[in-house]
Structure 1
């Protein structure tokens, strides 16, 4: 039979009860009150009755209390099963995911869980199920996301340079304005919405392939959209074609939504109609072109994806007028959600200085 264990003497019974009154952990309160009964001269059996446990558990509480004080009585999560991957192996997994597969070496052009499980087996000699690997991937912050196209001629250094020089360019624009003139940052782009809508992902039973309507006709309209993420506002029009005249009409619409007395810096790509000599730019707008082939710098691209995924896909448009009606509905619905514009459009490099 194990010998009796003495308790540390730097806490009195009233001290332990005072701590119990301030605790939010019900189990810790029960343990503190049990040990307070012992400190006040009660037996271990009395403490077991207070805590509603056995003598052995009271003994374990005493050991924890002696080693760590009241913090040793806090409820702890069970350690659970030892994970298959250690921290070093997780870092290697993250690196191979970021680098992507080499088709000639790995035999695939994109990673699937089964491919990563095979890589872990080959690299570390460990067997891991797809379900366990999925949890590991999510814990590392990875999700299966749809990739967006990237122009093969894009130069990453152009993106870095634009972000780095953006505050300086903004300061130069500010010098040409009247002192104290507030500046609004706007982003602009166009999206073609037609009868041949994209098919989005949807929930369905495993092993099945859901169907969705797909029109073969080609009528379409263009949404000219601009957002001011910092203010959560937008300005858009729907037109039948893209040209300098249409762009001038959109600039006029943006100018109307700029706050009185403010000046808008409109960031946009280098489409031909954005730099045309026929373009009419309102006095309260300054155009700032993006580097070529860098749509990642324009959050309106993400706005189009959001609108297509939620409001403008998986449907049949009966006519051109029907397309226009749905485009107007979708854009007005977005403008009615300023928090959504802020969530999609704010960028630290543009709004964090």
Structure 2
């Protein structure tokens, strides 16, 4: 049962029209949609896409997705649209959309198979359902994967995290390039309310400036930050880098995730890499495992992570008051 739901914009700025200074535009903000259970747990789950919020709302075949699955388990859920995408698409600068013909590329990037419509034999997708495939590829946003956009998104989310509007115990659930943005957010946040990050196939990582890493020139990093900022990742209660099946250990981003976890732990952090196939026995997991046909099993792993790290407690005052104690 819900106590309330709604949404709000946060971050961004107001700019003046150079030709008419009295005219302004509010832009480059993020948008948050929220759902608060009647008897909530202390930990807020901020579901952060880099493709679209839809991937959190449904399983590939239209079944229950993470959003409702974790609301049923009494977690406050927040769906995030970063600046210039989705429901936060007012940009402070000119943006040009050019069709990129991404359908075939989406298939491979989301690890449904080695080539378009050549499905992995065990893939956790309804492969005979053409409507499901069309829904999946149609849901994707234009991501603007640039260095500027990563900075813009993490700036807005750092404001959101520090505002208290996402709660005092935040766990970011991220997918793809959202993982990089969540890590960058953590290095920018001034408070200590980011308690966890779970990245499903993070494409892009953050490293300290003393690790000999050369910063990338594109939107997938690597990003290099001052050591003092990187150590904020070590202050997070727990971080988990999750990978689907059919990924080689030589995949550059898997290698980066292992190095990032090692460096975070070297400064007293608690980071781990979880391979859904080899470590958890979940075969055929895709790039977006939380929407896969076995997402109940993937969710169970997340519940274990939250419980293990004491991130599953209830808000006691609310629990007592609403039970009439």
TM-score (norm 1): 0.20
Computing the radius of gyration over CA atoms, which structure comes out larger, 1 or 2? 1
Question: Which structure carries more relative contact order (alpha carbon 8 Å, separation 6+)?
Answer: 2
More strand by share: 2
TM-score (normalised: structure 2):
0.21
